[in-house]
Amino acid sequence: MKSFIQLFPIYIFMQMSTVIYGQVGIGTTDPQQELHIAGSNSTIRIESIDAVNSPVMNNGVKLAPAFVDGDGNISIFGSGGSGIEPLNFLLQIPNFIDDNPYGHQPPYAETGTVINSTSAQSENGNEIGSVTITVPREALIEVKYGVTIYVRGSDMTLTPPWSEPSPGEAVQIGIYFCVDLNDDGLSAVELDKIYGIKGLYYESNYGGIAGHPYMNGQGYMGLPQGTHTIYFFGSVKDNLSSFTSIGFGGAEDYLKIRVFE
């Protein structure tokens, strides 16, 4: 009896050592990893991240996203397990480009911002609008836009009516945007980083009518904390001998900016 009592703690220690440094199986006697939970309906519960213990991050109604940090820790606190609520909000800015910046009277009021490619050039580009946003901390930004265009064959910044585009001519129209970090003016480096590029070809012909087709695009970027300005640019390419006038944003446009981690 005395020998059994002395050996029993040693036996338990050896068994515990096997469990700690071996593979543990739940629902299986043949674990294939350090922790192996078997069964088609297997689940795992971590009560520290439930709705009771983490009500800010987990409201108990919607599923809360889980994150894994550099140490392999699972949490619902976002990057670094900081406990700060994740960013996820949407800015909607309708009609963000002026419909009639030149003061034309109806029915010629919906030109938008005009970019001309004159008969002395085959392409031209310029800014068509901008939006300033404030990001409360470093985050991923998604920008979606829809911009209308209007095509004529004479300068729409001048008094209408305007001429028709040259028949049988293909015109290339483009939109993209750049980001001015910290809202201190676009640098050469920032101008070189373009996002959300969208191109459209327009071919003129006899018997056509003027309208406002949409150009839709989107882009993603990481932004640091602070105030930043997003600048939208338009471009037009045509035949060198032709005059093409493109109005950007003459009808209802939209801009959606999503900020999330």
Output the tens digit of pLDDT for each of the chain's 261 residues.
Answer: 444 444 444 444 444 444 455 788 888 988 888 889 898 888 888 888 888 887 767 878 877 777 777 778 787 765 444 455 556 778 899 899 999 999 999 989 999 999 999 999 999 999 999 999 998 888 899 999 999 999 999 999 999 999 988 888 889 999 999 999 999 999 999 999 999 999 998 887 766 667 788 899 999 999 999 999 999 999 999 998 899 999 999 999 999 999 886
d(CA 32, CA 224): 43
State residue 12's pLDDT score. 43
d(CA 234, CA 249): 10
Domain range 88-260, its CATH number among 2.60.120.760, 3.30.1180.20, 2.60.320.10, 2.60.120.380: 2.60.120.760
State residue 187's pLDDT score. 95
d(CA 188, CA 191): 5
187 and 227 Cβ atoms separated by less than 8 Å = no
Task: Work out the angle at residue 119's Cα, subtended by the Cα atoms of residues 117 and 120, and round it to the nearest 5 degrees.
Answer: 90
166 and 200 Cβ atoms separated by less than 8 Å = no
Global pTM value: 0.68
State residue 203's pLDDT score. 80
Domain positions in the chain: 2-81, 88-260
Q: Which two tokens stand for residue 253?
A: 């446009």
The 3-state DSSP class for residue 202 equals strand
87 and 258 Cβ atoms separated by less than 8 Å = no
In single-letter form, the type of residue at position 4 comes to F
State residue 40's pLDDT score. 86
- Dihedral sign (CA 116, 119, 120, 124): positive
The 3-state DSSP class for residue 8 equals helix
Task: Write down how long the chain is.
Answer: 261
